[in-house]
Each structure stands twice: as C-alpha cells, then as structure tokens.
Amino acid sequence: MASTTPPIVFTTTLRNLALSPTELRLAQPLEPDVVVFNARGLPIWNCFHGQSIRTIDAPYALRPSEVKRFSCTWSGFANDGRRLPPGLYRAQAWLHTADPSALGMYRSELVDVVKR
C-alpha cells in the first residue's frame, strides 16, 4: 500500500499592534498567499497558483489589537503537479497590497518547513 504524505496547513496571523485602528490597502484576494521555496530558494508552490490577483484598491481595517487568521493547505505537490520529495523547504506569507509605499506586498519572515 502506498503511503500518503499528510498535508501541511499554514496559518498566517495578521495583528494590529497599534493603539488605533489601522487600514491596509489590499489587492484582491483579501488574504495572504503562502509561497513554498525549495533548497535553492526557488518558489515551487503557492496557495493562489492559477488565480488572478486583482489590483482593486480594497480597504481592510483592523481595530487595535485585532487579530485575523488565514489558513492555506499544501498537499506536498509543486505548482506543476509533481509530487515533491521529503525534505526541508521554506515558506513565506505574502499579503498583496494596492499601496505603492509597500512595494506591492508585505512579506512575513521565512520559516522552515519539513515535508515528510
């Protein structure tokens, strides 16, 4: 019987640390994309693969201390459909923005991901 690799669920947290409401100018969709990189640092998978990112200027408000969580599941395959081998990968959340001062997106820190 062939073994199956359990999917990896990424959870991205967006938190307003300010004492006042914060409004972000986001592109559509209004949630972070997650990008997985191989050992050479090349992107091999992303949550929104095949979906268009619309550049609509959509306001997204967060109250003081408000937290929003978003989830995305990686099945262990590359965007081109190849099953990827077990190993160490890196992941990063990208929040696409319509705000030119943010250079098109906010990026989280890279995190290590072990695929079994």
Compute the distance between CA of residue 41 and CA of residue 112 in angstroms, rounded to an integer.
Answer: 12
pLDDT for position 1: 42
Structure tokens at 85: 């081998």
Per domain, the residue ranges of the chain are 8-115
Compute the distance between CA of residue 46 and CA of residue 78 in angstroms, rounded to an integer.
Answer: 8
Structure tokens at 13: 């947290």
Q: What's the pTM?
A: 0.77
Cα 70 to Cα 73, 101, 103: the distances in Å are: 10, 24, 22
Q: 27 versus 14: which is more confidently predicted?
A: 14
Are the C-beta atoms of residues 49 and 78 closer than 8 Å to each other? no
Compute the distance between CA of residue 54 and CA of residue 97 in angstroms, rounded to an integer.
Answer: 10
Q: How does DSSP classify residue 6?
A: P
User: Architecture of domain 8-115 in CATH?
Assistant: Sandwich (2.60)
pLDDT in tens, 52-95: 666 556 677 889 999 988 888 999 999 999 999 999 999 999 88
Length of the chain in residues, anyone?
116
